[in-house]
Structure 1
């Protein structure tokens, strides 16, 4: 399910017109957009439609596994005057 080539070319035309009307900043933004659209066209034309990439099984297991938090044990130090990190 790709984007129609004519639609992408129309977008390139719009960005070309904006680049001609604008200052250096607008030209730069329009050229970046044109580059991205050209890359999209070239990629789409040279390859079959891409299927979504599946995560490797090992990575999927680590993503879905809840992480455990070790229980905190309080240190009792001589001269400490409270539970706060900022109390010395």
Structure 2
């Protein structure tokens, strides 16, 4: 297994290469290598948080308009109006 110290040394090496190069393609490759090394380091360290990446999106309740029933012998709109 690769230790975190070895990963950090490789990240530092890639960072130095990205800093000194003038070639955009070489810089992108060094940054991609840093990303891969970081992902590898994060996978090897157990996280105290669950790795669930799903996001719950709250759904707004729908508002329904009620239509009052009109009956001939009703005294009002309330259920308690007799």
Normalised by the length of structure 2, the TM-score is 0.53
Matched, 1:26 2:26: yes
Q: Radius of gyration: which is bigger?
A: 2
Shift >6 Å, 4+ stretches:
none
In structure 2, how many angstroms separate the alpha carbons of the residues matched to 1:27 and 1:17?
10
After superposition, give the CA deviation of every residue in 1:58-86 in whole Å (9 maximum; x if it has no partner): xxxxxxxxxxxxxxxxxxxxxxxxxxxxx
Normalised by the length of structure 1, the TM-score is 0.50
5+ residue gaps, structure 2:
48-82
Partner of 2:2: 3
Q: How many residues align?
A: 46
Deviation of 1:21 (Å): 1.1
User: CA RMSD for the aligned pairs?
Assistant: 1.2
5+ residue gaps, structure 1:
48-88
